[in-house]
Amino acid sequence: MPERFSEILRAALAGDNRCAVCGGDVPVSSRSVEQAQKLHREGHLERMDPEGVRTLLLLGSLDAGCGIAPADAAGRLRVACPACASSDELAVAASMTDSVPAWA
């Protein structure tokens, strides 16, 4: 039986949907959420590991203006909200989103 979308997101985020600097909520682009919902409808999201789903949302945060923050102790990428992101973090995020194909 397919997992509910909210359960998949909860497992993927595991409390890790906050700014690496201030701890506040981070935005996620609507197209990233739409892509995740499309993958879920097609049955693909359930087959992705939680880190893969988290990465989809992280890319959506970059699309929404967040910056790439230093990785955490486990080496996982983190984001800094638009208010906290340094110009260097924003530049790295911009270079990453320029190379990411449109979510179609």
The dihedral sign for the CA sequence 43, 46, 50, 51: negative
Predicted confidence (pLDDT) per residue in 64-102, tens digit:
999 999 988 888 889 999 999 999 999 999 888 775 544
Average pLDDT over residues 21-41: 89
Closest by CA position to 92, among listed 101, 104, 102, 80: 80
* Predicted local distance difference test score (pLDDT) of residue 75: 86
- The model's pTM: 0.79
Q: Is the pLDDT of residue 62 over 80?
A: yes
Q: Dihedral through CA 87, CA 90, CA 91, CA 92, nearest 10? A: 130
